[in-house]
Each structure stands twice: as structure tokens, then as C-alpha cells.
Structure 1
Amino acid sequence: MNLLSRMNRTDHSGDLNYPETGATRGLPLPAGYNHLHFRAPVGHGRDAFETAGSAVTGWLMHRASGARVAAEAPRAEPGTFVEVSMGLGPLRFRAPCEVIWTAYESERTGFAYGTRQRHPERGEESFVVELAEDGTVWFTVTAFSRPASWYTRLAGPLVPVLQRAYAHRLSGALRKIAAAT
């Protein structure tokens, strides 16, 4: 069964499993969720920024971190359906998402996706690359989430630790990609 079939492409209304759509675009994040703010330098200069921005919005960053990505578009655009998965065989965790917002600006590039039905969490996560005045390229992950499945509820306080570790892993992958410029 292909990605679009699994995501029931014929009707998207109500497929997001949380109400605060777009909340990662600004602060404060909504109450009642675990919050993640992660920021790391990933390179320096315009070329590194352009490369990192393309890697974030073109799914390469996720893939380079070891995740599988099935997306209905080659780059992030609002309304794009995406499924990110990690693990092996029956231990593969699938995370169906939808791109909520994008930023394609001269010094800021990125997107946020929101969780859809059957995602193990409820919430939203943004991935943004920024070019600072001093030329430093910063990667920021901002997220709010809470358990939506029995196994993420069972994992309890371990889930935010794993989310932070994944953000760190993404920044490492992005740093390597940006360094190749």
C-alpha cells in the first residue's frame, strides 16, 4: 500500500490530531504539552545556509539522520503529506505528518509539520535554518507534543529525552551536509 493510500488522501479534514495548528511559528508554545527548544550551529556563510536550507526542506536532513521519509512532494509546502519512520521490521515506528507552514526567506528557511491520526504523538515540530549577521548558520527545532498512543504514554518521561536526542542527531546530519559545500 502506498503512502497516499495509507494517509486516506481523499479527505484531509480533521486528520491532524491536535487543535493548535501553526503554534510553532511563534512563542509561547501551548500549555499541556512537552516543549522542545533545540538550537545548534551547523555551518558558516551563505553557501552553508543555502545547502542546509535545501537539506531541511527537501527531506535530506531527515534521511541523512537515518530516518525513512515518504513525502508526496520533493520539498516542504503547506498541505504536503509526509511519513517519517525509524526502526527495523516490526519495530519500525511510523509518524504520519502534514506540513503546516513553510519559510523560504533570504535568511530563514524551514517548515513545521503537524501530527496526523495514527502518529504516536500529538503536536507540531518545526525545523528552521537561519543565517545570522555574523555568518553563523543556526539550526533550530521547536516542538510541542504529548503522547497519543499507548506505547508513548508508557514511555512517559523518556519520550522528551528521545526527542531531544533526535534533534541533536538531525543537527549533526545537517552539519555534515553543510560542511560539504
Structure 2
Amino acid sequence: MPVAYAAIGASDAADLLRFPPDGSTPYEESLQLGSGSERFLTAANLLMTWGAHRAAGVAVTDVERGEPGEYLGVQFNAGGTPELGDEPEELFSPEGVAYIQPGTTATLTPAGKNARPIMVISTVDEPQRLGFAWGDRDEVPGFGEQLITVEQRADGTVWAVARGFTFLTKSGLMAGIKQRAELRDVVEQAQACIAALAPGAALRNGVTGADSSTTASDSADTAPQED
């Protein structure tokens, strides 16, 4: 398998928090980024070009871009059943940077943490919702899958959402302590990535140019609020 677990795509399941993959622990974090179409597009462009991860202090290396149609990923039909995804349309940021595609592989290394070889298993391309899901290729501590999306809701507000599931250490004398530490690391990294999509966060963390579409006008947007 391309990743280290069987439930590929389950991070996008509507009932993930109630019925996570067997043996896993689910989580979901959300943050209001502001409101309006400009804020939605700015945050989405940042997310889909690895800008959120870089602004959160995650080194993104060894990137090998997936080719359209090479790996279609997973999507859920109206009945909630997983099925092979459609071939995604190739999209670009205003700076001409290609958006992340399913099948892309990379190594994510949070500051002070071990490297995680990952694979992008699906992307979300809806009129008011964009994002991607990645899964661990190796059984690193707390391995699993994470979906990060930016969405504009009916009231015009813009939100970043990170949800996923993680497989924690199950054995050993210190298993309980390791589980708590692993879950804390996974959740804190998810929180850091969505916080990096807030107005001005990328620039404050040194992500500029092709890695960030944030502009000075973003500072006038609604202040971020937690869900």
C-alpha cells in the first residue's frame, strides 16, 4: 500500500469522530480565518502550495509531484461509501504555483520532531471548500491521516478545519505516556497548520512570495476565532 494504514480516505468521512478506523483515535480542530471571498482564496492558495505547513514551522522536503491521473485518491459518495476519486483538474495559484495533487509524496519535518514521509491521498476541489489529505507512508509514532481544508460557509465566514485519525503506541511499559505525547503532538501540529492560515500569519513566520499569497490588506479581515 502507498501508506502505512488500511482506512485510506477516512479523514473525510462525515462520521469520523463517532466511528474512526479500528484502533485509531480521531480528532478535529477548526479556526475562523475571517470572512469574504478574498480571504477564502488567499487562505486556499496558501494551503494548496504547502504554505500553511511551512508557516507552521514544518520543513517540506523531498517533494515529488503526483501526475494527474496517476493516483486518483479516494472520495465518498452520497451514501458515505468510499470510492475511487475522479481525475483532478490541475489548478494553480495566482503566482503560477501548481496546487498539490493526489499522489504527491514529500517529507514533513516539524521543528524538533522526526521526519514523516507522507503521500497526498486526495484533494478537495469544491466551489467553497479546498484542501488535501495526506497519510503517513511509514509507521512513525502517531502515524495516520490528516485532512486540512479551507471553507467559506453560508454566512460568508471562512474557516480552516483539520481532522484526521492517528494510531498511537499500543504496547510497552510506557504506552500510556507515549500515547498522550503522540496525540498531543498530532493535535498541536494540526492547530499550528490552521493557525498559519490566519491573516498575516505566513508573513510573520517568514513565508513569502510563491509560498504565500497573503497581502497587507488581509490585516483588515475579521480576527480569527476558534470554533
TM-score when scaled to structure 2?
0.65
Q: Percent identity?
A: 28
Match for residue 142 of structure 2? 121
Q: Distance in 2 between matches of 1:118 and 1:75?
A: 27
Task: Pick the aligned partner of 1:140 from 132, 152, 161.
Answer: 161
Change (3 A) 1:41 1:79: same
Match for residue 45 of structure 2? 54
Structure 1 residue 82 corresponds to structure 2 residue 106: yes
Task: Pick the aligned partner of 1:110 from 121, 124, 131.
Answer: 131
Match for residue 45 of structure 1? 36
Change (3 A) 1:161 1:60: same
Structure 1 residue 158 corresponds to structure 2 residue 181: yes
Q: Distance in 2 between matches of 1:159 and 1:122?
A: 9
Change (3 A) 1:120 1:158: closer
Number of positions where the alignment pairs a residue of Structure 1 with one of Structure 2: 165
- Give the number of the structure whose residues are more often strand, by fraction: 1
Q: Which is greater in Rg? A: 2
Instruction: Output the aligned Cα RMSD.
Output: 2.4
Q: Distance in 2 between matches of 1:176 and 1:96?
A: 29
Q: Distance in 1 between matches of 2:167 and 2:138?
A: 13
Match for residue 23 of structure 2? 32
Asked if the contact 2:24–2:167 (Cα under 8 Å) also holds between the matched residues in 1, the reply is yes
Change (3 A) 1:156 1:54: same
- Give the number of the structure whose residues are more often helix, by fraction: 1
Structure 1: stretches of 5+ with no match in the other structure: 1-13
Asked if the contact 1:122–1:148 (Cα under 8 Å) also holds between the matched residues in 2, the reply is no
Deviations 1:68-99 (A, max 9, x none): 012223532111102110235xxx41011111
Match for residue 68 of structure 2? none
Q: Distance in 1 between matches of 2:196 and 2:123?
A: 21
